[in-house]
Amino acid sequence: MLSIKNLHARVAEKEILKGFNLDVKPGEVHAIMGPNGSGKSTLASVLAGREDYEVTSGEIIFEGKNLLELAPEDRAREGIFLAFQYPVEIPGVSITNFLKTAMNEQREYRGLSPIEPKEFLQMMKEKKALVEIDTNLTNRSVNEGFSGGEKKRNEIFQMAMLDPKLAILDETDSGLDIDALRIVATGVTQLKRPDNACIVITHYQRLLDFIVPDFVHVLFEGKIVKSGTKELALELEEKGYDWIRKEVASL
Amino acid sequence: MLETLTGIDLKEKLLADYSLQKSALLLDNPMIASFRENAANAFRKQGFPSKKHEEYRYIAMDKFLRKDYNHPLSASSPTIEKLPESILVDSEAYRLVMVNGFFAPSLSLVPEGIEGFTAGSLAEAIRNKNVTALTHIGTLSNPDADPFLALNSAMFADGIFIHLAKNIVVEKPIQIIQLTTSDEPIFIQPRVLVVVEDGAQVTLIGLTPETQEKQDIFINTVTEVHCGKNAIVHLVQAYDHKDVSAVHHTEAHVHTNGNFSHYAIHLNGRLVRNNLNIVLADSHCEAHLFGYYHPTSDQIFDSHTLVDHRMPHCESNELYKGVVDGNGTAIFNGKVYVRQDAQKTNAYQSNKNILLSEEATVNTKPQLEIYADDVKCSHGSSTGVLDPEQMFYLRSRGITTPKARALLLNAYAGEILEKLPSEKLRNTLTELLLEKYSA
């Protein structure tokens, strides 16, 4: 589904990703962990097509297409979804209007007619239940005045509505208390299917108690230095990132 | 005088009309005659403003005045037979239609036989010696203050007169529709006089819509509003005509406990200059000023507003927002005076602009002058671009750049449009704006 080869990327003249490789197949959940400044959020930004990040070499192939040639909106329409670490407030645009527009723009790209209002409302109702969002929230402007937990739940709600092939969760656990974490993680787990995949970017292991990864990768100074299964995450939690630092230094 | 050289031919032409067209100008009425004479002198002295005129320094007025304008002083036989349905906010509500500045009874729907409620032709009211019209016309405005105001005062030939006696409440909004039709360039000068007595309530929706003919049209309007004690007045002035250059001078006086709201919506026009002066003449008055402007290629939309707090315990609240695209120009000059007697004043003013192109221009100047010491006042202005973070967020959900832009601009304008006192008008204007965003 996704193949990243020897990816180098920089922001404001500073090279952050230095030869990043990753292969994601349908049905898989990959966790990417790493200390602050290792390049986790840069990876998410490059995948979603944020313009201030410059890819200097390497390639990203998604479903047979060169992702780096696609505008952010076309990446979304091809089936990529980024759950933002810091969801943006958009005063004056209601969640309902925003999602209906997004959904119909994606449908148009796939040659489908706009969604029937009734079907849309039914879908909203179902997906709201999934992340325990109450109706008042969806009548409000996108993220405006939302608490940290509401913002993150709203990201997963959008993910549920847009049904992407590949979801990238960028530190979705940051700033969440344990109850919100559980709701968000349960939502993500319920959306898992054999034909979709998920990349979970996180600093801490605790999210992975709820979203169990098939693979765990440790990102350090712009590339993956260690890969393993979910046990690797536990090891990191126990020993901290210094252990990795030492191991890399000794190579 | 050197500084008044702009549009000098038009000036002479108009002043010649003034001397010759005495009956069209209702000069047989001595009250009107002396008011006119005073105004004509003021215009003669001031002439059309050049860029040296402090209040007009950002507009090359000459460009809009150097046309071979005809200056109609009587109603032409109406060539507009039917009103476009789309511009009506309520087909059953009263409407006052002007064609080239002259009241058009056949297109209008006026109250008949309702005691204390008059609405119709201003010229007719003066000819019929309507006491309210005669005692109020020109009393709020000083022709020495502005050349366009002086010119209109000297030479308006018709317009609209609305009078609500004490405690008369008109439920549905009254539309004031300014239509134009001509096969040659025209310079027209309607006058609107609104007298709302104590406790009366009315909503007025003024609109200058697009018409078929493509001609140079200059409209120099003066609107005077008397808002009595405990009266509530909403006044919308919307311009959506690509070939119109307009100067609209509005003068409103608000009395004890009165509440006056003004909405300036500028969607299309070559030039739209909004001169809005509001005087809070007694205590416990409220004024609300909302504006939305969206100039694109070569369009200049200019608002000069003044709120004059003369007495204590009044509140004014002003929000003007605009989007400037292409090589359009927006100008905002907002003055708030808080005089020495106006203690316990609350006065807020804000102007916000979004630039959509490199060639777009905004000149913004909020001004606050406070002579009282126990007041709450604030003012501010900002000019920026669409938030790139918001744009990215929308695009990351599959929304194309033009659609994302339209969503954000619609939300931005929505803060003003949602204040409008008519839902139908709000929907009509929102649709017109969406067309403009996607252009």
Q: Where are the domains of chain A?
A: 2-250
| Domain-terminating residue out of B224, B252, B282 | B282
Cα–Cα distances in angstroms (integers) from residue B393 to residues A96, A115, B415, in the given order: 15, 22, 21
Q: Give the residue from A155, A150, A97 showing the smallest Cα distance to B408.
A: A97
- Residues from chain A that touch B394, judged by Cβ atoms under 8 A, are 90, 98, 102
B248 and B396 together in one domain? no
Please state the CATH superfamily assignment of the domain spanning residues A2-250 in this structure: P-loop containing nucleotide triphosphate hydrolases (3.40.50.300)
Q: Exposed/middle/buried for A238, CB within 10 Å: 0-12, 13-18, 19+?
A: exposed
The answer to whether the Cβ–Cβ distance between A91 and B401 falls below 8 Å is: no
Residue with tokens 């809005």: B276
- Residues from chain A that touch B426, judged by Cβ atoms under 8 A, are none
In this prediction, residue A225 carries a pLDDT of 87
The answer to whether the Cβ–Cβ distance between A90 and B392 falls below 8 Å is: no
Find out whether B218 and B186 touch, Cβ atoms under 8 Å.
yes
In this prediction, residue B3 carries a pLDDT of 37
Range of lowest pLDDT (A239-248, B145-154, B429-438): A239-248
Which residue among B389, B401, B407 sits closest to A101, beta carbon to beta carbon?
B407
Instruction: Give the pLDDT band of residue B217 (cuts 50, 70, 90).
Output: very high
3-state DSSP assignment of residue B344: coil
In this prediction, residue B6 carries a pLDDT of 47
Q: Distance from A134 to chain B by nearest Cα, in Å?
A: 22
* B19 at A interface, C-beta within 8 A: no
Distance CA B362, CA B312 (A): 34
Q: Do the domain assignments include residue B327? A: no
B273 and B401 together in one domain? no
Which residue among A51, A105, A142 sits closest to B398, beta carbon to beta carbon?
A105
Instruction: Give the pLDDT band of residue A133 (cuts 50, 70, 90).
Output: confident
Which residue among B390, B401, B415 sits closest to A90, beta carbon to beta carbon?
B390
Q: Is the pLDDT of residue B2 over 60?
A: no
Instruction: Give the pLDDT band of residue A180 (cuts 50, 70, 90).
Output: confident
Q: Give the residue from B186, B182, B177, B133 showing the smallest Cα distance to B26.
A: B133
B276 and B423 together in one domain? no
Q: Do the domain assignments include residue B291? A: no
- Residues from chain B that touch A93, judged by Cβ atoms under 8 A, are 407-408, 410-411
The answer to whether the Cβ–Cβ distance between A76 and B398 falls below 8 Å is: yes
| Domain-terminating residue out of B282, B313, B347 | B282
* B77 at A interface, C-beta within 8 A: no
Distance CA B295, CA B298 (A): 8
| Domain-terminating residue out of B242, B264, B282 | B282
Q: How many domains does chain B have?
A: 2
* B68 at A interface, C-beta within 8 A: no
* A97 at B interface, C-beta within 8 A: yes
Q: Distance from A230 to chain B by nearest Cα, in Å?
A: 30
Which chain A residue has the Cα nearest residue B403? Answer: A101
Q: Is the pLDDT of residue B77 over 70?
A: no
Q: Do the domain assignments include residue B11? A: yes
Find out whether B79 and B90 touch, Cβ atoms under 8 Å.
no
Mean pLDDT of chain B: 93
Structural domain span for residue B197? 2-282
ipTM above 0.90, yes or no: yes
Q: Do the domain assignments include residue B298? A: no
- Residues from chain A that touch B401, judged by Cβ atoms under 8 A, are 71, 73
Q: Is the pLDDT of residue B86 over 60?
A: yes
B256 and B396 together in one domain? no
Instruction: Give the pLDDT band of residue B156 (cuts 50, 70, 90).
Output: very high
The answer to whether the Cβ–Cβ distance between A158 and B397 falls below 8 Å is: yes
- Residues from chain B that touch A156, judged by Cβ atoms under 8 A, are none
Cα end-to-end distance, chain A, whole Å? 32
The answer to whether the Cβ–Cβ distance between A73 and B412 falls below 8 Å is: no
Distance CA A131, CA A180 (A): 9
Q: Is the pLDDT of residue B386 over 60?
A: yes
The answer to whether the Cβ–Cβ distance between B394 and A102 falls below 8 Å is: yes
* A202 at B interface, C-beta within 8 A: no
Q: Is the pLDDT of residue A20 over 50?
A: yes
B108 and B246 together in one domain? yes
Q: Do the domain assignments include residue B95? A: yes
